[in-house]
Structure 1
């Protein structure tokens, strides 16, 4: 698999798919460069020594201009693949000037550099990570969970922000640009409104091609502006989901203030992800009565996280560690409705979201949510909402 011809073929095939610069090294000697533009400058090679020194199978860095450069290396075979730069937003004229200064590119090559960016596709950071995973599989003949390996989207549970929010409460009793990724935006906002933490995590674990519109010529300012826009939207949907208005706006202010303290785009994007999780958790908590016991809380969370599985009250009871009859009785007593009914309600709410924000067929949705048949799914949906799934999708006014 790792013969010279096989590696060359793999690099060429992948380049033809993603059109990103690739450098292949063997025994520390450059063997292949794609594309071979002949330009007298290189934006990735200057970072090679730093990445090699980390002595990791996969490593990456982000430049000040938010260019991602990645390296995959197999120390045993002395093979390395350098990929990048990968851009998540198209550079402005000011950014190009800064890049020329940073890499000591003579002024006469400005047109060539601009041309390079014009033909360079825009990818999200998460897509970039998955490109690295492909090279890892090729060079090391192994499969890797790239999210876990690189600690992508670390959930810090926003400890410092939570502390600030508590203090403020005591003192005072957001394959192309973002603006045309409307349906993806609405999907993750719906997870927030419903308090669906696991759904939100799964959404961001998929490599959707979502890039941000140009909000600023400065990369750091751009990241902060994106966060501010996201906070505004998230706050609105969290309030719709049941989070009290005062808490929502306090959190909004705190996250914006925290973002202004940061001077690293990656840290800002990480804060944005944690912000979304924080709001979603708070919505989930707000939707559950305060006097709910821990067993019933576990039931609710388990059911919401397993809408795409054929779960029963027995499955829930096994997860909680109580008898089915006892747990069903407590569930009805505390919440006022049957557990079976709640399982069905959660599945149907998930169906509404999929009908609204995805183009999955009714058959696919029925199968995904583990209904016994499409006909049964359509019947229970109409009984619950008064319209068939098809009518619900075609007529927004019935929602």
Structure 2
């Protein structure tokens, strides 16, 4: 440990050592010129890997900790503290392959294998929250933590709206192990219901190991690729069952199949694709359900107006009749129709007035009363607003000379 760190950050380093002891994970603390880690520094993967450190520094946010996927299996927790970067890890995600410790040691030219501990996103999030509270006196929720890959691309919890023409042609693989099947069913149900909160909870707490899902390939990366294709098939089906239009569901699936192909060709992380796909499918279903609900509320409002159009209808009567908040209904209606509810009522009343003015000789005052306007003057103002002329002038310009006897109401 450098003298600079020893003098200035004795208390902070002591706290990091405590976090390392509690979590069972290595902790590191570095800037451009200094490096400290719990345990033997020269046995830490970041001690000589400057490129990985730079990738981590690029991924860090100033305001919040982040998750960092070094590859499909290895998860880190990162936090920025002034000119220093704090890292918790490396750790293994729950979907990691057995015996990966030795593979990781060889890839980082370590003298002996590290004992990589398996953690969930929720567990890593708890460690990051502890650090954030200690160093910056703040609190952070798991869903507010971003996850980045080694290419500094942000993966989760944000959705993207890319659409491609890459077609979904793979079928679902058979899954036999109970934990894997139960997890798969829980994810599919959450996607079907558009329950983003539940999906994040499932992903952060207890995703299954690959062995629970079923081994379909001897080579671990191929195993992940096959599992991803199967997952995308399940997600596409669940999203369609949840109400997402078939075309949109396949578009989202095609986007992630294309990403899988690109990641496979470039050797990029694959497990992050699964995480993003699950979140995006769920969010898409949630939005589709909300849109359908919104449209049904607007249609119900329009139907109520049609039934009561001949009355002195007031906007304040409609929302309670539909068991909706007045503010919510007003916002929704304006968003869908482009005009307010009051404007819509006036427009519909004036449309009825047009037929009466053209095909009857009822007095304007009587038409005003019949359509529930508060006064002939108010009727005239509304009509002129929508048709640019007064009711009398409209009748004069458009009358066909019909009488009440010729045209029934």
Superposition TM-score, scaled by structure 2 size: 0.52
1:141 is matched with: 137
Measured against aligned partners, the alpha-carbon deviations of 1:143-176 in whole angstroms (never above 9, x if no partner) come to: 2456446366244343324xx38x99xxxxx9xx
Aligned-pair CA distance for 1:212? 4.0
Provide structure 2 residue ranges, at least 5 long, that are not aligned to the other structure. Answer: 1-7, 147-153, 302-319, 334-339, 342-409
Q: C-alpha separation between the residues in 2 aligned to 1:188 and 1:218? A: 26
Q: C-alpha separation between the residues in 1 aligned to 2:133 and 2:155? A: 18
Would the alpha carbon gap of residues 281 and 220 (structure 1) be closer, same or farther in structure 2, given more than 3 Å must change? farther
List aligned pairs for 1:228-243, cutoff 5 A: 228-242=229-243
List aligned pairs for 1:181-220, cutoff 5 A: 183-194=182-193, 196=194, 199-204=195-200, 207-214=204-211, 215=215, 220=221
Mapped pair 1:132 → 2:128: yes
Highest CA radius of gyration, 1 or 2?
Answer: 2
Would the alpha carbon gap of residues 286 and 218 (structure 1) be closer, same or farther in structure 2, given more than 3 Å must change? farther
Which one of the candidate residues 35, 45, 60 is aligned to 2:47? 45
Aligned-pair CA distance for 1:204? 0.9
Give 3-state SS (helix, strand or coil) of 1:121's partner: coil
1:68 is matched with: 75
Aligned-pair CA distance for 1:85? 0.4
Aligned-pair CA distance for 1:279? 5.8
Q: C-alpha separation between the residues in 1 aligned to 2:321 and 2:220? A: 49
Does the 8 Å contact 1:192/1:200 carry over to 2? yes
Would the alpha carbon gap of residues 246 and 44 (structure 1) be closer, same or farther in structure 2, given more than 3 Å must change? same
Does the 8 Å contact 2:68/2:78 carry over to 1? no
Does the 8 Å contact 2:120/2:205 carry over to 1? no
Give 3-state SS (helix, strand or coil) of 1:69's partner: strand
Which one of the candidate residues 84, 87, 96 is aligned to 2:92? 87
1:317 is matched with: 326
Which one of the candidate residues 120, 124, 144 is aligned to 1:123? 120
Give 3-state SS (helix, strand or coil) of 1:83's partner: strand
Does the 8 Å contact 1:44/1:84 carry over to 2? no
Aligned-pair CA distance for 1:19? 1.7
1:99 is matched with: 104
Of Structure 1 and Structure 2, which has the larger fraction of its residues in helix? Answer: 1
Which one of the candidate residues 262, 268, 272 is aligned to 2:273? 268
Measured against aligned partners, the alpha-carbon deviations of 1:92-140 in whole angstroms (never above 9, x if no partner) come to: 45x556534422235xx3xx44xx14xx22333x543443232122112
Aligned length, in residue pairs: 283
Does the 8 Å contact 1:68/1:84 carry over to 2? yes
Superposition TM-score, scaled by structure 1 size: 0.53
Q: C-alpha separation between the residues in 1 aligned to 2:263 and 2:235? A: 20
Q: C-alpha separation between the residues in 1 aligned to 2:72 and 2:47? A: 16
1:284 is matched with: 289
Aligned-pair CA distance for 1:18? 2.7
